[in-house]
Amino acid sequence: MDMPTPPDQPGTNADCRKVNAIFGRLGDKWTILAITMLSGQPRRFNELKRLIGGISQQMLTRTLRSLERDGMVTRQVFPTVPPQVEYGLTERGQSLAIPLMQLSMWVLGHISDIEAHQALYDREAKQQRK
């Protein structure tokens, strides 16, 4: 019984919020790459690391943990002598991969146009201020 009006901001539709939270995940530096590399076949930790390329051990661990927490990825440990851990997409992870790939395709199809537009924009901006 405290807040008169702003308990929930105007257009802050709860749905939009949630969607955005997940997009934040997907948009982080490695998540999409990881999902992509896992679609099709399960992969071992270092195999993933090589495939992704440029990711630090720690970030790969973090990324995979988050995905595991979301139920997107399974983690199976084989207690062999040098321990092996295999990661794979869950059903949910695979179903996510579908709209994800569609969006990826859109980006790939438009990326050169976008980059051209950025270059143009930057050129105009530079001229304006000097």
Partner DNA sequence: CTGTATCCTAGGGGATACTG
Partner DNA sequence: CAGTATCCCCTAGGATACAG
β-pair partners for 68: none
DSSP-based three-state secondary structure for 85: strand
> Shortest approach of DNA to residue 37 CB, angstroms?
13
> Shortest approach of its own copies to residue 84 CB, angstroms?
19
Where would I find the beta strands (DSSP E) of the chain? 43-44, 73-78, 84-89
Nearest residue (CB) to its own copies, 78 versus 102? 102
Instruction: Point out which residues bind its own copies (CB under 8 A).
Output: 9-12, 15-16, 18-20, 22-29, 32-33, 36-37, 50-54, 68-71, 92, 95-96, 98-100, 102-108, 110-111, 113-114, 117-118, 121-122
